[in-house]
Structure formats: structure tokens, C-alpha cells
């Protein structure tokens, strides 16, 4: 299944995307696609529905909000592609490199505003894992049981905040609007193998990232199991799994975002995003 949330910010309607790409209204089944709904077995209820029985929904503004409302923790894995670690000149980690992202997810195509005096805004296309069943000390063999599905994610970063203000990654990752999620939550059965997907990103029509999730250093099951040793995973948590080579910082000379830029990105089976970049106002 492909599930999403459409409409103005704060007024999104939950939808199921049918085989023809039409959004079907789920508001008669659930008030929203929330962590609580996932925990209460929403996906099992939806699997037995005939999508044709659901009303179609017009999208007057075409906006997709974050594909899960009220996301809990955003846990990020750094340096998790072999080619990305090489481009930034860092060794492959012996264990997953973990940090947190301290902003709320925004919609797939929502505008991006760079921080005041931003100098080194950067992009990172990533595969997101949405947790559907909580737990701790999850084995790799059982990890799939805890995954509701997957989504596309743009992990934007202000590199000057990340690298030049005490070396703390989180402060470079947490500016409002730096967590673009969706358009869809795609369930495990719909997506297939999450480690055999094309993954790409363009800025102003130039393809900077063009990789494959087969280059993950630590795979999906490994990541879920590993994190559950340190965190109580909960329904609605989002794990973003790292980015392939081609970030702006990795180019010589580096290339960074500026107002007026257009970002496009996608992952096979998970849809695409497009964002316009603006200067901070206020």
C-alpha cells in the first residue's frame, strides 16, 4: 500500500493511493495516519479493504504533507554509504554513526528556507524507515515485524552549523523545514527489497546524487536491531539511513544551496519530491 496525507498544513486528509495513482479518502477509516493509528493495527485493517470502495479525493492544491502525522523521534544514521564516506574522506564506521534531528517533518514539496546568514546549505536524499511496532532488543530476524514501511526523505543540512560551531552534527540538521518526508508511506509488501533501490537527487536539473541502496554499509534490519539496543523504538519513529555520494560538501570545489534553487529527488517505488529554496524571512 501507498499511504499519504494531502491538503493544507494542519488540515491534511489521510489517503490510500490506488493502483491507478488516484488518492482514495481514508477519513472514514481513520482520522489521520498517526503513530497511534499504526500502533492500533491500522495497516492490517487497510489490507482487507477494496480500494475501489473508498471515495476518490480531489487535490485542489496538490500538497502532500508528511506521510505520518506526529512523528516521534527522528534518528539518523551517518556515513552509511560506502561511496559517501569515501567522498568526504572518512573511514567506514565499525558501528552505525547515530545522531538525532531536532525539527518536525514537513511535506514532500514544501518550500525550503535557508537559515539567516546561511553559507553552506546542503542536500541528502535518504531512505526513511517508519516504525510500526515498538520494542527494545529486537533481533535482526525480527526487525521486519517492527517496520510499518518506508518513505523518501531529504535530510537538509547547514554545514557551517554542523562543522564550524563545536562539531555537533545535530545543530546543522535541525533548522525548521530541514526534514522533508514523503510523499508516501509505502508498506513493506509493496516496496519489496529496500536494499535494491535507485536513489537520486538533482539541483537545478543537474544530477548530483545517483546511487543505489545496495551500497548501504549497515542494512535496514541491522539498523533497526542496533538502534533498539539504545532506544525504546516506538510506533511513528522515523529512522533515516544515510545518503549516497554526491552531497554538495563532497564536490571540489563544494557546491551549496542558494535562494532560487530547485531540488528534485526520488527513490524507486517511493515517489519524488521537489522543493524551491528561499532565503530566511524575519
CATH number, domain with residue 271: 3.90.850.10
Tell me whether residue 216 is in a domain.
yes
**Per-residue pLDDT for 60 more than 80?**
no
Query: Cell numbers 544515510 label which residue?
Result: 242
Tell me whether residue 26 is in a domain.
no
Tell me whether residue 131 is in a domain.
yes
Q: What is the dihedral of CA 87, 90, 94, 98, to 10 degrees?
A: -90
pLDDT in tens, 200-211: 999 999 999 999
pLDDT in tens, 145-161: 999 999 999 999 999 98
Tell me whether residue 121 is in a domain.
yes
Tell me whether residue 11 is in a domain.
no
Q: Which residues of 148-186 are buried (b: 16+ CB within 10 A; e: fewer)?
A: bbbbbbbbbbbbbbbeeeeeebeebbbbebbbbbbbbbb
Worst-scoring range by mean pLDDT, 58-62, 99-103, 190-194, 196-200? 58-62
Give the pLDDT score at 90: 75
Rounded Cα–Cα distance for residues 147 and 263 (Å): 28
Tell me whether residue 17 is in a domain.
no
Query: Cell numbers 531536532 label which residue?
Result: 102
Q: What is the pTM of this model?
A: 0.96
Tell me whether residue 47 is in a domain.
no
Give the pLDDT score at 43: 95
pLDDT in tens, 4-49: 999 999 999 999 999 999 999 999 999 999 999 999 999 999 999 9
State the total domains in the chain: 1
Give the pLDDT score at 167: 66
Give the pLDDT score at 117: 83
pLDDT in tens, 161-207: 887 877 678 899 999 999 999 999 999 999 999 999 999 999 999 99
pLDDT in tens, 227-272: 999 999 999 999 999 999 999 998 889 999 999 999 999 999 999 9
Give the pLDDT score at 87: 79
Range of the domain at 108: 68-278
Tell me whether residue 52 is in a domain.
no
Amino acid at each position: 500500500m501507498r499511504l499519504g496525507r494531502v491538503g493544507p498544513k494542519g488540515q491534511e486528509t489521510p489517503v490510500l493511493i490506488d493502483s491507478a495513482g488516484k488518492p482514495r479518502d481514508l477519513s472514514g477509516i481513520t482520522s489521520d495516519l498517526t503513530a497511534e493509528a499504526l500502533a492500533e493495527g491500522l495497516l492490517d485493517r487497510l489490507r482487507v479493504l477494496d480500494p475501489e470502495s473508498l471515495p476518490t479525493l480531489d487535490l485542489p492544491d496538490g500538497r502532500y504533507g508528511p506521510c505520518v502525522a506526529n512523528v516521534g523521534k527522528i534518528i539518523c544514521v551517518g556515513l552509511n554509504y560506502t561511496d559517501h564516506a569515501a567522498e568526504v574522506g572518512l573511514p567506514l564506521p565499525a558501528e552505525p554513526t547515530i545522531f538525532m534531528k531536532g525539527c518536525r517533518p514537513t511535506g514532500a514539496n514544501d518550500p525550503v528556507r535557508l537559515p539567516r546568514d546561511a553559507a553552506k546549505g546542503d542536500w541528502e536524499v535518504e531512505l526513511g524507515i517508519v516504525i510500526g511496532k515498538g520494542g527494545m532488543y529486537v533481533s535482526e530476524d525480527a526487525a521486519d515485524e517492527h517496520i510499518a514501511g518506508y518513505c523518501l526523505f531529504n535530510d537538509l543540512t547547514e554545514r557551517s552549523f554542523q562543522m564550524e560551531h563545536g562539531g555537533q552534527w545535530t545543530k546543522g540538521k535541525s533548522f525548521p523545514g530541514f526534514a522533508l518526508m514523503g510523499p508516501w508511506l509505502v508498506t513493506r509488501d509493496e516496496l519489496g527489497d529496500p536494499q535494491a533501490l535507485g536513489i537520486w537527487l538533482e539541483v537545478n536539473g543537474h544530477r548530483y546524487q545517483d546511487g543505489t541502496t545496495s551500497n548501504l554499509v549497515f542494512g535496514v534490519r541491522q539498523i533497526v536491531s542496533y538502534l533498539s539496543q539504545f532506544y525504546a523504538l516506538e510506533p511513528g519513529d522515523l529512522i533515516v539511513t544515510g545518503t549516497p555520494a554526491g552531497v554538495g560538501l563532497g564536490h571540489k570545489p563544494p557546491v551549496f544551496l542558494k535562494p532560487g534553487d530547485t531540488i528534485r529527488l526520488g527513490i524507486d517505488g517511493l515517489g519524488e519530491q521537489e522543493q524551491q529554496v528561499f532565503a530566511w524571512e524575519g
